[in-house]
Amino acid sequence: MGDEVLFYAGKKFVAKATILGLFRNRPLATAVWGVDEAHKTWEHIMALGDVAEFEMPAENVLRALRVPVPLRSLTLVRAEERRRFLGMDDRVVRSRPEGNSSRPEQAPTLNREELFRSLSTLKTHTREQRPSRHKPVTLLWAIGRLAARQDRMVEWETFRREVAPLLQDFGLPDSKVTPEYPFWHLRTSGLWCVEGIDQPSTPTRSQLAASRARAGLTMDAARLLRRSLARAEAIGLLCSKYLGDVDRDELLERVGLAGYTRASGEQPTSGPSGGMAPRRPVTSSPPARDQRFVEQIKVMYGHECQVCGSRVETRYSHYSEAAHIRGLGRPHEGPDELANLLCLCPNHHVEFDRLAIYIDEDWSVRRNSTGAVEYQLKLHADHAIEQEHLRYHRGLCGRI
């Protein structure tokens, strides 16, 4: 248990995972894989976790490990050998083992800047000068799958079943529901791939079904979007650029990204607001925050709001709120520390939490709808705010 397993296909390593446990269960194996001609099955089963997809040429590594190439069966490698030849974190997965031949390593084909350039320049059909929402809604759905650790590639029938209702509910009011369009045409974004069908024109639904075509984010796009900062930024960008007048709380909840509409990550509670359908009740309680930090930040600023400087007076004292820049718990997983806290008045707390204002690198406080500077953030000499948390918040705001 805890050992790592690498998956090999087409002379490459294509994924890694951690072994959570080994067990034998013939009925389960038969149900999953069936039996061969001799009525045998693969009854030794591994339970895997932390599955991560990537691509890395395997030949040099296998030769260094003195393993015959190509790999044909389960091969065990001692941990020290693995560490020597196969560093597996993000930085070294792309680098070559030392002392090997000069075959160039396959470089990632997409970097962060290209990802966001592609996301901000999606080609969308326009209808009465309003861009179609099919592609951004589909991308949010795909990002939701990544966040839920579901498979990256999805067969057409599943795609249609899951995406068509989203296009129905969140597409332009009078646009036709055509899931085959984003399924096929998102390829032009450079972030999307389609497998199992290849033809010059848009395939029909029956062609997609007959070929059992699959589509999803490219491996490179998925690799970038599995990181929390890039994911927050992508969601913020897609929402603010293409989905301005969509009910984001509703849409993001439907694609499994509830919490991304607020810095705190708290989910909107159901209520009589605007006559909308009641939302799923919140079943988990917010993560515990350390009251010492809450008190510390309020005392440090004497209850004065770091944005506007005002101080709410109560009968015997003053009132302020401690706001986490990057919410604790799901989905933002921010740390509970002073560097991630602000002392705010109730109004600015709501505006910061609901992404109406954000704080720039130079500490200016800007209105998100216009970008206009409204205040300079007040900073106590003992309060070292972590810029990365503010960057994450700007990402949620669609400001990259």
Q: Interface residues with Zn ion (CB under 5 A)?
A: 305, 307-308, 345, 348
Q: Residue 95 Cβ, how far from Zn ion at the closest point, in Å?
A: 48
Closest to Zn ion by CB, 258 or 297: 297
Residue 33 or residue 319: which is nearer to Zn ion going by CB?
A: 319
Amino acid at 60: N
Angle at 355 between CA 333 and CA 276, to 5 degrees: 95
Name the token pair of 98.
């030392």
Q: What's the min distance (Å) between Cβ of 388 and Zn ion?
A: 24
Phi/psi for 222 (5° steps) reads: -65, -40
The residue type at 5: V
Contact 151, 158 (CB under 8 A): no
Beta carbon nearer to Zn ion, 124 or 347: 347
Q: Are 185 and 135 in contact (CB under 8 A)?
A: yes
Q: In whole angstroms, how close is the CB of 344 to Zn ion at the nearest point?
A: 6
Shortest Å distance, C-beta 273 to Zn ion: 24
Q: Give the up-direction half-sphere exposure of residue 161: CA atoms within 13 A in the CB hemisphere.
A: 6
Q: Least distance from C-beta 378 to Zn ion, angstroms?
A: 10
What is the identity of the amino acid at 303?
H
Which one, 18 or 347, has the nearer CB to Zn ion? 347
Q: Which is nearer to Zn ion, 240 or 264 (CB)?
A: 264
- Shortest distance in whole angstroms from residue 263 CB to Zn ion: 15
From the CA atom positions of the chain, what is the Rg in Å?
25
Nearer to Zn ion, 300 or 308 (CB): 308
Q: Please state, in angstroms and as integers, the Cα–Cα distance from residue 353 to each residue in 100, 129, 300, following that order.
A: 52, 31, 21
* Helix (H), strand (E) at residue 354: none
- Residues 281 and 198: their CA atoms lie apart, in Å, by 44
Give the three-state DSSP class for 174.
coil
Q: Where are the beta strands (DSSP E) in the chain?
A: 4-9, 12-24, 44-57, 126-127, 130-131, 154-155, 192-195, 214-217, 312-313, 318-319, 321-324, 341-344, 357-359, 364-367, 373-376
Which residue's Cβ has the minimum distance to Zn ion? 305
Residue 339 beta carbon to Zn ion: minimum distance, rounded to whole angstroms: 20
User: Of 254 and 348, which CB lies nearer to Zn ion in the complex structure?
Assistant: 348
Q: Hey, what are 336's tokens?
A: 């509970």
Return the number of other C-beta atoms located less than 10 Å from residue 178's C-beta: 17
Which CB atom, from 322 or from 345, has the smaller least distance to Zn ion? 345
Q: Give the Cα separation of 57 and 102 in Å (integer).
A: 13
d(CA 399, CA 212): 39
Structure-block tokens of residue 261 = 């509409």
- Minimum gap (Å) between residue 296 Cβ and Zn ion: 19
- Shortest spacing between CB 370 and Zn ion, in angstroms: 18
**Residue number, 248 or 348, with CB nearest to Zn ion:** 348
